[in-house]
Amino acid sequence: MPQKTRSAKAPQCAVIILAAGQGKRMKSDLPKVLQEIAGQPMIFHILDGVRQAIPSATVAIVVGHGKEHVEKQIRSNDSYSDLDLNFIFQPEQKGTGHAARFAMDSPWGEAVLKSRVPVLVLPGDLPLVSPELIAQMTEELGRSSVMRLLTCVLGDPTGYGRVVRRGKAGPVLRIVEEKDATQREKELHEVGTSIYLFQGQFLKTGLSRVTNKNAQAEYYLTDLVSQASRAQKKIEVFQWSESQDLRGVNDPWELSQAGRYLNQRIIQKWARSGVRFIAPELTWVDSKVVFDGIAEVSPNVLLQGRSVIRNGAKIGPHVVLKNVDVGSGAIVKAGTVGEDAVIGTGASVGPYAHLRPGSEVGEECKVGNFVELKKAKLGRKTSVSHLSYLGDAVVGENVNIGCGFITCNYDGKTKNVTLIEDDVFMGSDCQAVAPVKIGKGAYVASGSTITEDVEAGSLAVARSRQVNKPGYAQKYRK
Ligand code: UD1
Ligand code: MG
């Protein structure tokens, strides 16, 4: 097998991500770290941060609950193929210290010890950790320090481990979990975040000494803080002022709060680069969406997946786009829904259009209200303005499709293609029974059901002739 380029570069840092817990408080069968915010699992946000801040790191992900699922999701994401990822199995979840111990006792941990790199520990349920924070946390430890502890001060510290110091602001003595805390300790507002940088040997030895004599009968990683303090080893404390970045996600409410905050961070970033959001608080933009230039986004818009919004586009209101590429200057009007589709430069789509996967709207096309496209490609300047369904269709340039056109693309067994060449004029209320081709420049009379190919330049009329019977109306009424 070819060697990956990263192996040429020794890791400057090792990372343990604790991701084995079931997350009982989430009340969901999905492993906690796979719960999604901003369009991807929480653990992907953490891996994105690691990849940006310390790309040469060697990473151990401790998995347990739903391990196959977690591993498969991560392995199948190409974005992480250049990261040195190692999965460590923790068969029973007996606490954060127990999880970290499995990593350090594994062959991966042995190699890390040998290489003498520091070990960053990240919990899998802190998805808002930024690359900047990771970069600062992994700056070199002082010579005499055994660990760096990341803390923050929270208005409401409920649920977090409290940082106990000597006196009010003296050195850190220990971290006490909420369930073990006295009333006085619960009143402390400085909390441990479960993010640490350890000197490798201290971590390894410390973990072997942790006991489970506490309210939850768990092996707490936080115990390493009191171990260091008792042994009078130096603990560096790093307090992060942006407490929102350190939101833990333990239940559905915290998941929605973290999602809301991340959304705000994403929107703020794009707004500062020139995108105008009329109502940021009513707009949802996934983390992998890209704005390529300035754009305007109206209220109640969801931009999902890997959508790209190009310069000068206008979106919304009430629009949902997933993996849609919106061309420069295109307008996507109210109520439009699109997935895995392309909208060309200067095109106008909607209101109330539905672009299903595989749809391509060409440059300067017009797709109007109540039009559904599925695997349909429209050439430049083609217009489908009202109430139509085009499935498995290839439509040329400058085609005019009248109101109420339908491709009959499915015969009960297979999907068949409709070809409509350049400059065709399709009258209103027509159907094309596929497979069928309508040649360049042809006219199709309103109300026609086209079952046979139409030659270029001809007129197709496929309807019965009108008969007017004078006086018949009066006769009927009688
Ligand atoms: C932990 C800290 C707490 C801190 C808080 C910050 C401990 C004992 N407590 O509490 O001080 O304020 O994080 O968010 O460390 N995990 C495993 N295996 C296990 C147990 C947990 O991999 O056996 C993983 C979980 O999947 C999770 C992470 O470790 O991603 C943290 O575990 P969790 O149970 O959420 O700890 P907290 O109660 O949040
Ligand atoms: Mg937690």
**Which residue ranges make up each domain of the chain?**
14-246, 273-460
Residue nearest to atom 3 of ligand 1 (CA): 161
First to last CA, the chain: 90
Evaluate if residue 292 carries a pLDDT over 60: yes
194, 223 Cβ separation under 8 angstroms: no
Which neighbouring-strand residues pair with 290?
308
Q: What is the pLDDT of residues 148-178, one digit of tens each?
A: 999 999 999 999 999 999 998 899 999 999 9
pLDDT digits (tens, 9 = 90+) for 232-243: 999 999 999 999
CATH superfamily of 14-246: Spore Coat Polysaccharide Biosynthesis Protein SpsA; Chain A (3.90.550.10)
Give the DSSP per-residue string, 160-209.
SPEEEESTTTS-EEEEE-GGG--HHHHT--EEEEEEEEE-HHHHHHHHHH
Burial 21-40 (b: 16+ CB within 10 A, else e): bebeebeeebbbbbbebbbb
C-alpha 123 – ligand 1 centre gap (Å): 6
Provide mean pLDDT across the span 299-325: 98
Please give the CATH topology (third level) of the domain spanning 273-460.
UDP N-Acetylglucosamine Acyltransferase; domain 1 (2.160.10)
C-alpha–C-alpha distance, residues 405 and 445, integer Å? 12
pLDDT digits (tens, 9 = 90+) for 373-430: 999 999 999 999 999 999 999 999 999 999 999 999 999 999 999 999 999 999 999 9
Residue 22: the pLDDT is: 83
Per-residue pLDDT for 2 more than 90? no
| pLDDT grade for 10, boundaries at 50, 70 and 90 | low
Q: Ligand 1 pocket test: pick from 96, 158, 190 the residue with the most ligand atoms within 8 Å of its Cβ.
A: 96
- Measured between alpha carbons, how far is residue 73 from residues 48, 51, 424 in Å? 14, 17, 47
pLDDT tens for 120-136 read 999 999 999 999 999 99
Distance CA 442, CA 312 (A): 35
pTM score over 0.75: yes
Q: What angle do CA 147, 148, 154 make, to 5 degrees?
A: 135
Q: Provide the pLDDT for residue 3.
A: 37
Nearest residue (by CA) to ligand 1, atom 28, is 123
Mean per-residue pLDDT, 60-87: 97
Residue 62 in contact with ligand 1 by CB distance below 6 A: yes
Q: What is the pLDDT of residues 330-369, one digit of tens each?
A: 999 999 999 999 999 999 999 999 999 999 999 999 999 9
| Eight-state DSSP code of residue 78 | G
Q: Is 98 a catalytic residue?
A: no
- Ligand 1 within 6 A of CB of 388: no
Instruction: Indicate which residue's Cα is closest to atom 10 of ligand 1.
Output: 160
Q: What is the mean pLDDT of the chain?
A: 96
Residue 478 has what pLDDT? 86
Q: Please give the distance, rounded to the nearest whole angstrom, from the Cα atom of residue 194 to the centre of ligand 1.
A: 7
